[in-house]
Structure 1
Amino acid sequence: MPPLPPFASDTQCPPPGRYPMTWEEVEYSLVRAAAWKASSTRPGLWVELQSHRALVECLFGSVTRIWLAGSFVSGKLDPSDIDLAYLIDADAYRGVTEPDEIADLANLSDREWCVKHGMRIDAYLLSLPATVDFRDLGTVGAMAAGDSEVFQMLGLYDEIWQRCRAGHRQRRGYVEVAL
Structure 2
Amino acid sequence: MPPLPAFDPFTDCPPPGRFPLTWDEVETELVKAERFSDSVTRHGLIQELRHHFALVEIAAATVGRLWLAGSFASGKLDPEDIDVTYLIPSEAYVRATEDPEVVDDLDNLGTKDWCVRHGMRVDAYVLRLPETTDFHALGLTGAMAPGDHKVFEGLGVWDEIWQRCRSGQSGIPYGVRRRGYVEVLL
TM-score, scaled relative to structure 1: 0.97
Cα shift readout 1:30-63 (whole Å, capped 9, x = no counterpart): 0112211110000010110000000000011221
- 30-39 vs 79-88, greater mean Cα deviation: 30-39
In terms of fraction of residues, the more strand-rich structure is 1
Per the alignment, residue 159 of structure 1 pairs with 160
* Maintained 8 Å contact 2:70/2:82: yes
Q: For residue 146 of structure 2, give the secondary structure of its aligned residue in structure 1.
A: coil
Runs (5+) with no aligned partner, structure 2: 168-173
What does 1:17-166 correspond to in 2, within 5 Å? 17-96=17-96, 97-166=98-167
Identity in percent? 59
User: Structure 2 CA distance, aligned partners of 1:2 and 1:8?
Assistant: 15
User: Structure 1 CA distance, aligned partners of 2:88 and 2:76?
Assistant: 29
TM-score, scaled relative to structure 2: 0.93
Structure 1 runs (4+) deviating above 4 angstroms are none
> 1:142 Cα deviation (Å)?
2.1
Q: For residue 177 of structure 1, give the secondary structure of its aligned residue in structure 2.
A: strand
> 1:2 Cα deviation (Å)?
4.6
User: Structure 1 CA distance, aligned partners of 2:92 and 2:184?
Assistant: 18
Cα shift readout 1:7-41 (whole Å, capped 9, x = no counterpart): 11110000111111111100111011221111000
Q: Which amino acid aligns with 1:60?
A: A
Query: What is the root-mean-square deviation of aligned Cα atoms in Å?
Result: 1.1
Q: Which amino acid aligns with 1:176?
A: E
